[in-house]
Structure 1
Amino acid sequence: MNTHSAPFQPVSAQNLAWLGTDPIPAKPYYDPAYFELERQAIFMRTWLNVGHVCEIPESGSFIRREIEFANASILIVRGKDDGIRAFHNVCTHRGTQLVQAEAGRQSTFSCPYHMWTFSTDGALLSAPDFDQFHVGKKECALPRIAVDVCAGMIFISFAEAPEPLRDWLGDLADRLEALPVARATTFHEYVYEIDANWKLTYDNFQENYHLRFIHPRSAGAGTGAENPFGYPVRYGFHGQHRTQTIWTNRNAPQPAAPAMIAYGKAAEAAAANGVLVSQDAKDYFALFPNFFLLGSPLQHFSHVVMPISATRSRGVIRLYWIGEDQSASERFAREYLMATARDIHAEDRGVIEAGQKGLNSGALTHIHFQTQEALCRHLFLSVDATVEAYKAGTALGAEVAA
């Protein structure tokens, strides 16, 4: 019997009426000019998740991130004081990239071209024959990028003075800190590139309308006679961010034996590491513009969709864990759960790219969101409002300059 006290009812259109019902313009999902506005108004100004503190556990630990939309290579480093800093991966002599490795541990960073050497806090330590230069070492420190951490997750911003991260997260900050990701020590990762706009790609993962059609085998627990489309129990809107609570079919057929074993072992490992099922276990946290995280303690799943161009994106899917594998069966459980996530994603990819091909044709002037695609509509409205505010600001700036 379903554990809900009353039969499932989808969130009513009346409760979501404030989002509107008009068709959404199609052009922002393929137009290079609109993508350029998004790049400047949103991605060059907001906080973006690029990793987790478990990747840089010790002094000198670093990770490198290539951010195509910013034409930037970024170093995130843990310093001797345990502080986390982010720098452009560029020697201040003549621009040569300092690091080619994706991750590692170093006490200093030396340019391979002329051996200018920098500390983990970005200061220039030494440079051959520096007396011949007409500048001081302080002026040659590595260019910094804003960086902050919440719930163990590392965020960067290209803005000169971004809003404090916790202020930007608002009431979601404390909820995120209570999730297992805040204590994670390791993760499995799956990276993919897709010929699709970042919004079109992201939207696929914030609506359940497609579950019964694209995932008939894998969506058994997420759909059922009571809720044939697997619509969420509730939605939450937090400024530009949003949440939804996932519905579970308590009458779903029992999973196959390997899945039962995997979930059982994962549950044992979670309990052994003090991970409890929280009130947010069924919640999906979507942080503007391109990140979401599932609260589930067993498949603690995050997904970042990073824009590359108007019609191409890169996705990074992670399952976070607390503690290393303690047995072969625990290793199997974690690998199985990651493989399951990849299998489900493989079912999505083709239809996302097919949608992009259709939009690229210019045949549609508008697309349509139904009531339960509320998160998709909210994302577009948040993006478009930010773009319009940016356009108004730049136009005003031009008028003032004139």
Structure 2
Amino acid sequence: MGKAENLALPEIGSHALGTGKLPVDHYVSPQFFELEKKHIFRKSWLLVGRASDLKEPGDYQNFLVDTLGVSVVVVRGRDQQLRAFYNACTHRGSRLVNSSTGNTRALVCSFHGWSFSLDGALINAPDAALFADLDPAQEHLKSISVDVWGGFIFINLAEQPEWTLQQYLMPLGDAFDRYLGNKDWSWSFGWRANFRANWKLLVDAQIEGYHVDMTHRKTIAGTVPGSSTAAYFFPESVGVPCGVSAYRPEDSSRGVQTPLNLLSAKYGATSIYTKPERTFAAEGGEGVLKEDHPLWIFDNYLLFPNIVLFVQKGQIIIQRTLPISADECIWEVDFYHTEKPASFGHIFNMEQGVIQIRDVLSEDLYTAEGIHANFKCGAITHVNLNKQEVPLRAYYNRLLSAVQGGKVKGAP
């Protein structure tokens, strides 16, 4: 199963993006990393949080774009609008907010006490008469473009973004927006780690199915063999270069391998990994994604440059990788769910699922530091990709287009 033609999406073919070996320079070059900072992270829409976490006026989030050393404050205004500002007082540049989240009536600088309204206007400067030339209208906090899609907050550090967020995220569009945004998703858990590896290596591991049979042979290979994945690329999309869908084989019983898995499958909530008849369609689903396909498990989409969006029944996983240098990055993952456990069996099933996902992600990311070391020392200078790995080629092409200032086919 898993043929792309059954899903009305273009099946990827290596012929569409070339077939030659790809150089590894862009993983290790400090010069390329500087281009990424300038042309990618300062111009792309970056996911920074969940809008539902900022419900009340004055609720704020302080997000550090580690790649650029930029601190951003996203705050809910009294008019219920979300706004984003550089976390910098216009007096002498001190940080306005130091905690990661909170609620405030005004943004107040702890250095000299300048205070700003929730819409960024200067409302008080102590001893203002001491200044020879102080025009409050000229002291407005520096704004950053902000928008919401699928209930997630995105920012863009460009002075004038080239694309709206909706343009950027096509072809996901309205269906994904409604599914992710209108559900009562709640954050369940998450992890954060530092890696001595180029940031793109952690993305690469999530956007191809060729590695599954070997890397995940002790966990999910029986349930989601590499042969049951379908890869896609979207050459006309600015922010979604590729994606991968996964399906159960006709007989997924061999995916239940451990005593803990057996107990979870027997006594826990039915799992879409092991029970084909559990589909969105059978449960009155909304007709979004592949939920009407009887063996569909999940979709992975790359939200350029650094987000892997994992979507399945009742669960969203957001993986975000933030580079610190060409040789180091921060990796974060957050899990969101709609279902609350209704029984001990359900709790057992969900907790077992957490353990299994932890193991799977550990298997995915384990190789990154060794690969990076081999790239950096010159042990390998090129990589050879097969058809299942072509999403990496689509990603590579999008990276080159961005750093070279090129236009994506079909982009506005």
Aligned-residue sequence identity (percent) comes to 29
Residues 236, 385 of structure 1: alpha-carbon distance in 2 compared, 3 angstrom cutoff: closer
In 2, distance between residues paired with 1:274 and 1:264? 16
Deviation for aligned residue 1:21: 0.6
Structure 1 equivalent of residue 143 of structure 2: 144
Structure 1 equivalent of residue 79 of structure 2: 81
Deviation for aligned residue 1:338: 3.3
Residues 388, 148 of structure 1: alpha-carbon distance in 2 compared, 3 angstrom cutoff: same
Residues 335, 128 of structure 1: alpha-carbon distance in 2 compared, 3 angstrom cutoff: farther
Residues 1:170 and 2:170 aligned together: yes
Deviation for aligned residue 1:275: 6.1
In 2, distance between residues paired with 1:293 and 1:340? 18
Residues 145, 231 of structure 1: alpha-carbon distance in 2 compared, 3 angstrom cutoff: same
Structure 1 equivalent of residue 359 of structure 2: 343
Structure 1 equivalent of residue 270 of structure 2: 264
Deviation for aligned residue 1:68: 1.6
1:32-43 paired onto structure 2 within 5 Å: 32-43=30-41
Structure 2 equivalent of residue 135 of structure 1: 134
Structure 1 equivalent of residue 290 of structure 2: 280
TM-score by length of 2: 0.83
Deviation for aligned residue 1:327: 6.6
Structure 2 equivalent of residue 361 of structure 1: 377
- Does the 8 Å CA contact 1:181/1:320 hold for their aligned counterparts? no
Residues 190, 183 of structure 1: alpha-carbon distance in 2 compared, 3 angstrom cutoff: same
CA RMSD of aligned residues (A): 3.0
Residues 1:313 and 2:314 aligned together: no
Write the letter of the residue equivalent to 2:169: L
Give unmatched runs, 5+ long, in structure 1: 392-402
Residues 123, 292 of structure 1: alpha-carbon distance in 2 compared, 3 angstrom cutoff: same
In 2, distance between residues paired with 1:154 and 1:274? 28
In 1, distance between residues paired with 2:383 and 2:231? 24
Write the letter of the residue equivalent to 2:251: N
TM-score by length of 1: 0.85
Deviation for aligned residue 1:233: 2.9
- Does the 8 Å CA contact 2:265/2:271 hold for their aligned counterparts? no
Secondary structure at the counterpart of residue 232 of structure 2: strand
Structure 1 equivalent of residue 67 of structure 2: 69
Q: By percentage of residues, which structure has more helix?
A: 1
In 2, distance between residues paired with 1:223 and 1:324? 26
1:2-401 paired onto structure 2 within 5 Å: 15-133=13-131, 134-162=133-161, 163-180=163-180, 182-187=182-187, 188-224=189-225, 229-237=226-234, 238-240=236-238, 241=240, 242-253=242-253, 254=256, 255-258=261-264, 261=267, 263-264=269-270, 278-281=288-291, 282-322=298-338, 333-389=349-405
Write the letter of the residue equivalent to 1:171: P
Deviation for aligned residue 1:279: 3.6
Residues 116, 334 of structure 1: alpha-carbon distance in 2 compared, 3 angstrom cutoff: farther
- Does the 8 Å CA contact 1:222/1:230 hold for their aligned counterparts? no
Give unmatched runs, 5+ long, in structure 2: 292-297, 408-412
